[in-house]
C-alpha cells in the first residue's frame, strides 16, 4: 500500500469511508489551506474562514459513510461555496433583524410594561450566563462583556484560539436554545 501522502483522491475517499483516520488527516492536510484561502477571500475574516472550513471537515468525517463523492476536490470546493453562501444569507438576515430591533429601541417608545419585560429578559440572560459551566462562562464573559479577542483570551488563559472559539460558539448555542431568539438577539446587541 502507498504512503497516504502519495494516495490519489479516489483512494483516499475509499479509505475515508472505511474510517481510516490517516486518510482523513491526509485529506485535511491536502485541502485545508486551499479551502481556507478560498473561504477567506469570500468572507474576509480569519475566524469565520477557519470555522467554516473546520465545520466542513467535521461534516466530512461524521457523514463519511453516507456521502457519495466521485471527485474529492470538486466536492470540497462546492461544499465550502455552499457554506459560505449560507453564512452570508444568515448574516444578512441577522443584520436586517438587528437593524430593525435597533430602530425600534432608538425610537424610545417603550411603555412601562415593555421596560419591565426588558429587565426581566436581562435578568434571564444573566441567570443563563451564570448557569454555563465555569470555564465556558469565563471565556464567554471575556469575549462578550470585556470585548476581548479570541487571541487575547487564549493568551490570558494559556489555551488555543480554537478552544476559545469553540467555547464561545457552544456558549451561544446553549444560550440561544435556553432563552429564545429575541433574547439571543438582544444579547448580541448589548454585549
- The predicted-structure confidence for 149-179, as pLDDT tens digits, reads as follows 999 999 999 999 999 999 988 988 887 777 7
Class of 110-190 in CATH: mainly alpha
Whether 110-190 and 4-87 are alike in CATH topology: the answer is no
Confidence of residue 190 (pLDDT cuts 50, 70, 90): low
Band of pLDDT at residue 58, cut at 50, 70 and 90:
very high
**Residue 8, number of CB atoms within 10 A of its CB:** 10
Q: Tell me the average pLDDT of the chain.
A: 83
Produce one character per residue of 95-120: b if its CB has 16 or more CB atoms within 10 Å, e if not.
eeeeeeeeeeeeeeeeeeeeeeeeee
Domain ranges of the chain: 4-87, 110-190
| pLDDT number for residue 184 | 59
Q: What is the mean pLDDT of residues 121-130?
A: 82
pLDDT digits (tens, 9 = 90+) for 23-45: 999 999 999 999 999 999 998 88
132 or 182, higher pLDDT: 132
Residue with more model confidence, 111 or 144: 144
Around Cβ 91, how many Cβ atoms within 10 Å? Answer: 12
Count Cα neighbours of 1 within 13 Å in the Cβ-side half-sphere: 7
The Cα–Cα gap between 164 and 161 comes to: 5
Cα–Cα distance between 181 and 6 in angstroms, integer?
Answer: 48
Question: Rounded to an integer, what distance in angstroms lies between the CA atom of residue 47 and that of residue 55?
Answer: 12
Neighbours of 83 (CB within 10 A): 20
Q: What does pTM read for this prediction?
A: 0.49
Average pLDDT value for residue range 88-117? 70
Q: Measure CA of the first residue to CA of the last residue in the chain; give whole Å.
A: 54
The topology under which CATH files domain 4-87 is Rna Polymerase Sigma Factor; Chain: A (1.10.1740)
Using alpha carbons, list the distances in angstroms from residue 50 to 32, 97, 143, 163, 188.
Answer: 9, 26, 18, 13, 21
Amino acid at each position: 500500500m502507498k504512503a497516504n501522502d502519495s494516495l490519489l483522491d479516489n483512494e483516499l475517499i475509499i479509505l475515508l469511508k472505511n474510517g481510516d483516520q490517516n486518510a482523513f488527516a491526509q485529506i485535511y492536510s491536502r485541502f485545508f489551506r486551499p479551502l481556507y484561502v478560498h473561504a477567506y477571500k469570500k468572507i474576509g475574516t480569519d475566524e469565520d474562514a477557519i470555522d467554516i472550513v473546520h465545520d466542513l471537515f467535521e461534516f466530512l468525517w461524521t457523514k463519511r459513510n453516507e456521502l457519495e463523492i466521485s471527485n474529492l476536490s470538486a466536492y470540497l470546493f462546492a461544499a465550502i461555496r455552499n457554506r459560505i453562501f449560507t453564512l452570508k444569507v444568515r448574516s444578512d438576515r441577522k443584520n436586517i433583524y438587528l437593524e430593525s430591533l435597533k430602530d425600534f429601541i432608538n425610537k424610545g417608545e417603550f411603555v412601562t410594561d415593555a421596560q419591565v419585560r426588558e429587565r426581566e429578559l436581562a435578568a434571564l440572560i444573566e441567570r443563563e450566563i451564570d448557569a454555563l459551566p465555569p470555564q465556558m462562562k469565563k471565556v464567554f464573559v471575556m469575549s462578550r462583556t470585556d470585548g476581548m479577542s479570541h487571541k487575547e483570551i487564549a493568551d490570558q488563559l494559556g489555551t488555543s484560539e480554537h478552544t476559545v472559539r469553540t467555547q464561545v460558539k457552544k456558549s451561544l448555542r446553549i444560550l440561544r436554545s435556553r432563552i429564545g431568539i429575541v433574547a439571543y438577539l438582544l444579547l448580541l446587541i448589548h454585549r
